Structure 1
Amino acid sequence: MTDSVKMDLRSQDLLGERIQQLKKLFPEVFAEGKIDFTRLKQALGENLDTERERYGLSWAGKSEAIKNIQTQSHGTLLPVPEESVNFDTTENLIIEGDNLEVLKLLQKSYHGKVKMIYIDPPYNTGNEFIYPDNFKEGLEDYLRYSGQVDGDGIKLSTNTETEGRFHSKWLNMMYPRLFLARNLLREDGVIFVSIDDNEVKNLRSIMDEIFGEENFVSQFIWNTEGHTDNQFQVKVNHEYIVLYAKNQLIVSLGYIIDPNTRGQSNLWKGYAENSITKNGEANPPSEVLLPSGFPCVAEKIDLDATDVSSEFYKEVSELGYISRQITQKYNISYPIRKKRMIVEEGKLVEDCLVFSGWANVNKLKEFIKNDFKPLDDEDGNLLEFYLSERGVIYYKKSREKARNILSVLRNMGTTEQMRSELERLGILFQYPKPKELLQYLIKIGSAEGEIVLDFFAGSGTTAHAVLDLNAQDNGNRKFILVQLPEPTNKPDYPTIADITKERVLRVISKLNEEDQNKLDFDGKKQDRGFRVFKLTSSNFKIWDGNEASIDPAQLEQQLNMFTDNLVSGRTQLDILYEILLKAGYPLTSKVNKVTAGAQEFYSVDEGLLLICLEKEIQKETLQAMMELEPVQVVCLDVAFQGNDQLKTNTVLEMKSHKIIFHTV
């Protein structure tokens, strides 16, 4: 009875969940709890690919990469308030640790909550960090690498030219991270990945496999506008940014206009308009009757019927459409007026028959049928038609927002400019992405109040872009950064993660200072802070059966060590956030302390979750928690001090109140 309430301290079991989904869909393929592949093949029928040779991407180590996804993490994220800014109120996160382990730990709390992901992973050029040698994508190796536990140092690997730039090594690093990242995206979410020519082909292949070819949106070409005074035969001054949607059918990109769009474009206005006359093979000509009352932009016009030879109509009829050659031959302007066109006070005085090839002709007829009242289109815009002063029919679509996203990205800052700006902030970093580029992508991929994730954070350009963009439009986008504590040669900032935190801190300080200097500053607070968390081992001792002694006396000694399963030196705050993470609550959840007699407990998310971390819990405290009618209650296992009767009674009483009860 009591064992059944223990909380699972591992990260989400992705493989187990998928097997359960398969069991719901195909219960008949399971025999004694295992998948019977013969039955599965029969269930799939014609959808089963039996060909030996098939299209796909395979590489050395792919099966191990998939196993890495399925391996659960026993780690946790320790809060570090002293390195944070506005820890108690901010909803921004900077997480220091290996991004694969961190992504596993975020699966419960942030599943389906992230609107946009941007990453700038290693390009595999042979001269930059890939991952530590012997790094088996596990927590223990990470802890040794980062100096959190004793062990041999782990050398950094650079995947050199002499290794043929092992594509397999790069794919093994990227595949599980992209797979886990997809789970965090909302259904309407998007992911942008920066890359260059070295791995763009392989990146597209694994993203097609993970996200589905049908969810590919675009492969942007970013004109880096960098120096081209090198000795290469072809001076490469571009990179790529690959964009995929979680679900192409429901994704909606931001209403944003490419900044290079000419100033005279209607895209900058609150409407779009154009002539609907359109001649060509796809637009067979027809007559349209414009009834009296049809609107015109001019108060008054009087245009004679168009003088057209009968040979014109004969040639058009034989061809089936109006060609450019026919138009030039007969010197025709469209539409052809078959009657005199007279407008008084901005309206047709009498019916007028016109002839042309058309675009939007059905909408025009609907507009006429609607007594010339504007039509609502599928995007919520208003559509109307009118005559110009020359008798040409125009459509006008009013809109609050316009979208003009181009596949070639130009004039969006350079690495050199960004590096210089960072130097003025006192931050030295060699190859930062320009924040202007990131701001543009964030406008495409996210909106007000949404979460932007970057799990190859580098110097923190994504956070810089989010904070600056929020300052520009008074928005409240939130960021989550994940960065490995990769060593540097800078004494002031021993790791890249230290540079990340310092940069974001200085950006916040600069923005706050600029606000104070504004004459119209109204004191309205934006979220200019971040909570720092660091990846480490669990706050709870994890029993490893492989380490159990076969000697009875030693085994008893080992078991006695687990009587109190808390790791020494950890604080209540450390334990609290591990429970939040493992219970599926965001790391930015609102937490309040509640006093019950002589003891305290934590109320999370307006009382939906109650957590008591007292080492010896009192019955009155348990009663006070039940009276608040939470959904879930969590206590320390050691808090019952071996009183199995109290624990059993608590389980039963919680169940009678329909409260989920766990111990850790």
Structure 2
Amino acid sequence: MEKLKMHSPDLSQENIAKIRDLFPGCVTEARDEVTGKLRLAVDFDQLRQELSDSIVEGPQERYRLDWPGKREAALAANSPIAKTLRPVRDQSIDFDASNNLLIEGDNLEVLKVIQESLLGRVKLIYIDPPYNTGRDFIYDDDYSQGTGDYLNLSGQADEGGRRLVANTEANGRFHSDWLSMLYPRLRLAKNLLADDGVVFVSIDDNEVDSLRKMGSEIFGDSNFVATIIWQKVYAPKNSAKWFSEDHDFILVFAKNKEVWFPNPLPRTDEMEARYKNLDNDPRGPWKAENMTARNPYDAGVYSLTTPSGRVIAGPPTGTYWRISKEKFLELDADNRIWWGKDGSNSPAVKKFLSEVSSGRTPQTLWFYNDVGHTQDAKKALLKYVPFEHTENVLNSVKPVELLQRIVQLATKPGEGAIVLDFFSGSAPTAHAVMLQNRMDGGNRRFIGVQIAEPLPVPETKMETIFDMGRLRLSNVVEEFKAEGDEVTGFRVLKLDTSNMKDVYYRADELKQGNLLDMVDNVKEGRAAEDLLFQVLVDWGVDLTLPIRRETVLGKTVLFVDENALVACFDKGVSEDLVKDLAKREPLRVVFRDSGFVSDAVKINVEQIFRQLSPTTDVKAI
């Protein structure tokens, strides 16, 4: 019976496999120095020969973004890890019913773990990464180990490998460290985007240029969409040494700019007020549009006679009528030309409100009176999070109105769009998704990822920034429900070491003295639901599908979305139980490798399913 791999995908091997499809002669096999197993490897000399017409060799100058540590950052994006997501029911709200996720853990590792579950499914990614100011905290990723050491890299051997550190300007790698932090995360995030997906990234002046170049490299320069300027403050800072910094930037990159377009925004009351009905036209309100233009138009020079009898020799000097005389006479006959109240004005074309687009084209300049400012953001945070210490109130939180605008532009109400924020912080993005769903009846889903960064001062109800976001959303859900809204909460998942003992990954290191301890390859203290979520991750199954427990022949069986996946991790699994599950014809089924009552039952499992449910995919852990 085939075993699940139980670690994140090895993206370097997947990339090599793609090269093999294009250039079979350029890929060979090599023995891994750590595991001793054969792995795919690229013959770069042969590949250079294949690409000899276009490859850039050696130190030749070329346009690109480069920094010390870039290669290691790319390696970090591709390296597999043996970690999992464990459900935390007591911190969740509506665990069994919700399709929203809050994930606690280092976002680089979480992005690796969810690669297969969310591959090509995310419609919108918004992130507000730490600005590189010398005061904010950044992620200190350890690139000193190779891909073969993913057990150590993932923290199974050394829990001290990951930490948060201040990136001060005294650091000789001030910009490089920030770029190395964000680069692998954006590369992994791109894999999750749907073909019509888009990324919005908040940033300030310190790294906007680097971010633009990095994003163009990852997504392709042709997929850069826009730089949005957000007016983040409502009053100038008189204490500023040079200029009062009143704005931040939001860079927008599409997965494919040819298929992604922003949704139009609703018309404002001011725009609606421009349409009136001065002549009681039965077609409703209209506004008069100038009939002249400056672009030369041969058919746009002719004389007109107004209803009052005044003759207009032609358009004003240097301009042209925008329409031909034939078209003009057609519009005039249809009462679509406005001559003024006394019938003697120059003509204007009536544009009816009922015939114009229901929305407006988004602009790149966003004012605080439309999308909020930093003080609005703090007020919202303080409303939903009861702080005991003002030192813990975040200064860089974004207003919900700003994120609602982004959600409006990138998603539609009824498409079930997934919105991902892997620098979730106090969870304003998730809050915005819930609020926008409430306003337009949408069914969008959110996934928020945040590392458990300790608060400056401990609080009674929260210890970390992740706790802050969870508490905020809990209170938002409570408020919505109290007001009679149908709203589901969220599932809390926590990144943790693998449920599997090291022997699962390194059987060759098993020593005779440890044989009895290694009969079961599952770590002590891991519940059936823990194992189930690692299987969901490994199999690429949606992590928000409903889960049902049922006792079958005395054993606990977990049903994911009824028959999408059936799992039994109890010991003493009998042939009768296997037959019972096979008769239900599940899409997938998984057992504990050491869970069968005898070797004979274990051997017969695949044969039983082949007879009773041949389409079922059978695996073991």
Q: TM-score, normalised by structure 1?
A: 0.78
Q: Distance in 2 between matches of 1:644 and 1:232?
A: 77
Secondary structure of 2:375's counterpart equals helix
CA contact (8 A) 2:300 2:324 kept: no
Residue of structure 2 in register with 1:110 after alignment: 118
Residue of structure 2 in register with 1:256 after alignment: 265
CA contact (8 A) 2:231 2:373 kept: no
Residue of structure 1 in register with 2:35 after alignment: none
Secondary structure of 1:601's counterpart equals strand
Residue of structure 1 in register with 2:20 after alignment: 23
Q: Distance in 1 between matches of 2:446 and 2:326?
A: 62
For residues 436-515 of structure 1, what are the structure 2 equivalents within 5 Å? 436-448=401-413, 449-488=416-455, 489-492=457-460, 493-513=462-482, 515=483
* Worse-matched range after superposition: 6-15 or 127-136: 127-136
CA contact (8 A) 1:10 1:72 kept: yes
Indicate whether 1:536 and 2:496 are aligned: yes
CA contact (8 A) 1:124 1:165 kept: no
Secondary structure of 1:494's counterpart equals coil
Residue of structure 2 in register with 1:430 after alignment: 394
Indicate whether 1:81 and 2:50 are aligned: no
CA contact (8 A) 1:279 1:285 kept: no
Distance 1:261 1:53, change over 3 A: farther
Deviations 1:505-558 (A, max 9, x none): 112222222x14xxxxxxx6222x011111101111133888976xxxx81123
Distance 1:198 1:60, change over 3 A: same
Q: Distance in 1 between matches of 2:101 and 2:469?
A: 12
Higher-Rg structure is: 1
How far is the alpha carbon of 1:471 from its aligned partner? 2.1
Q: In the alignment, which of 596, 601, 609 is matched to residue 654 of structure 1?
A: 609
Distance 1:93 1:337, change over 3 A: closer
Indicate whether 1:213 and 2:182 are aligned: no
User: What is the letter of the counterpart of residue 80 of structure 1?
Assistant: V
Q: Distance in 2 between matches of 1:13 and 1:121?
A: 25
How far is the alpha carbon of 1:197 from its aligned partner? 0.7
User: What is the letter of the counterpart of residue 500 of structure 1?
Assistant: G
Distance 1:186 1:335, change over 3 A: closer
Indicate whether 1:237 and 2:250 are aligned: no
Q: Distance in 2 between matches of 1:633 and 1:304?
A: 86
User: What is the letter of the counterpart of residue 48 of structure 1?
Assistant: I
For residues 86-165 of structure 1, what are the structure 2 equivalents within 5 Å? 86-132=94-140, 156-163=164-171
Q: In the alignment, which of 232, 236, 241 is matched to residue 224 of structure 1?
A: 232
Residue of structure 2 in register with 1:638 after alignment: 594
Indicate whether 1:41 and 2:48 are aligned: yes
Distance 1:151 1:446, change over 3 A: closer
For residues 224-373 of structure 1, what are the structure 2 equivalents within 5 Å? 224-226=232-234, 228-257=237-266, 262=271, 264=273, 275=289, 277-281=291-295, 283-286=296-299, 302=307, 308=313, 325-326=317-318, 347=334
Q: Distance in 2 between matches of 1:339 and 1:270?
A: 22
* Worse-matched range after superposition: 48-57 or 393-402: 393-402
CA contact (8 A) 2:95 2:490 kept: yes
What is the RMSD computed on CA atoms of the aligned residues? 3.5
* Worse-matched range after superposition: 426-435 or 538-547: 538-547
Q: Distance in 2 between matches of 1:662 and 1:252?
A: 42
How far is the alpha carbon of 1:131 from its aligned partner? 2.2
User: What is the letter of the counterpart of residue 442 of structure 1?
Assistant: V
How far is the alpha carbon of 1:341 from its aligned partner? 5.9
Indicate whether 1:7 and 2:7 are aligned: no
Indicate whether 1:198 and 2:181 are aligned: no
Secondary structure of 2:409's counterpart equals helix
Secondary structure of 2:165's counterpart equals coil
How far is the alpha carbon of 1:41 from its aligned partner? 3.5
Residue of structure 2 in register with 1:526 after alignment: 487
Q: Distance in 1 between matches of 2:286 and 2:183?
A: 43
CA contact (8 A) 1:306 1:338 kept: no
CA contact (8 A) 2:274 2:287 kept: no
* Worse-matched range after superposition: 52-61 or 464-473: 464-473
* Worse-matched range after superposition: 130-139 or 157-166: 130-139
CA contact (8 A) 2:288 2:348 kept: no
Secondary structure of 2:524's counterpart equals coil
User: What is the letter of the counterpart of residue 650 of structure 1?
Assistant: V
The alignment-based identity, stated in percent, is 34
Q: TM-score, normalised by structure 2?
A: 0.83
Distance 1:154 1:640, change over 3 A: closer
Q: Distance in 1 between matches of 2:286 and 2:212?
A: 35
Q: Distance in 1 between matches of 2:556 and 2:515?
A: 30
Secondary structure of 1:130's counterpart equals strand
Deviations 1:149-172 (A, max 9, x none): 986697641111212561110111
CA contact (8 A) 1:270 1:401 kept: no
Long gaps (5+) in structure 1: 290-299, 313-321, 349-385, 517-523
Q: Distance in 2 between matches of 1:454 and 1:10?
A: 23
How far is the alpha carbon of 1:77 from its aligned partner? 0.8
Q: Distance in 2 between matches of 1:134 and 1:30?
A: 29
Residue-pair matches, total: 576
Deviations 1:581-636 (A, max 9, x none): 11111111122234433334222234132211121211011112222222322111
Distance 1:248 1:614, change over 3 A: same
Distance 1:261 1:109, change over 3 A: farther
Secondary structure of 2:474's counterpart equals helix
Q: Distance in 2 between matches of 1:416 and 1:461?
A: 14
Secondary structure of 1:509's counterpart equals helix
* Worse-matched range after superposition: 111-120 or 487-496: 487-496
How far is the alpha carbon of 1:36 from its aligned partner? 3.1
Deviations 1:255-302 (A, max 9, x none): 2148697554569x9999775845434x4322799xxxxxxxxxx985
How far is the alpha carbon of 1:333 from its aligned partner? 7.0
CA contact (8 A) 1:601 1:612 kept: yes
Distance 1:266 1:427, change over 3 A: farther
Distance 1:230 1:649, change over 3 A: same
How far is the alpha carbon of 1:13 from its aligned partner? 2.3
How far is the alpha carbon of 1:647 from its aligned partner? 2.4
CA contact (8 A) 1:304 1:339 kept: no
Distance 1:342 1:663, change over 3 A: closer
Secondary structure of 1:203's counterpart equals helix
How far is the alpha carbon of 1:241 from its aligned partner? 0.6
* Worse-matched range after superposition: 414-423 or 60-69: 414-423
* Worse-matched range after superposition: 204-213 or 17-26: 17-26
Long gaps (5+) in structure 2: 30-39, 277-282, 340-345, 388-392
Q: Distance in 2 between matches of 1:600 and 1:271?
A: 66
Q: Distance in 2 between matches of 1:634 and 1:472?
A: 41
Residue of structure 1 in register with 2:34 after alignment: none
Deviations 1:200-221 (A, max 9, x none): 1111111111111111111101
Q: Distance in 2 between matches of 1:30 and 1:342?
A: 69
* Worse-matched range after superposition: 582-591 or 647-656: 647-656
CA contact (8 A) 1:258 1:404 kept: no
Secondary structure of 1:650's counterpart equals helix
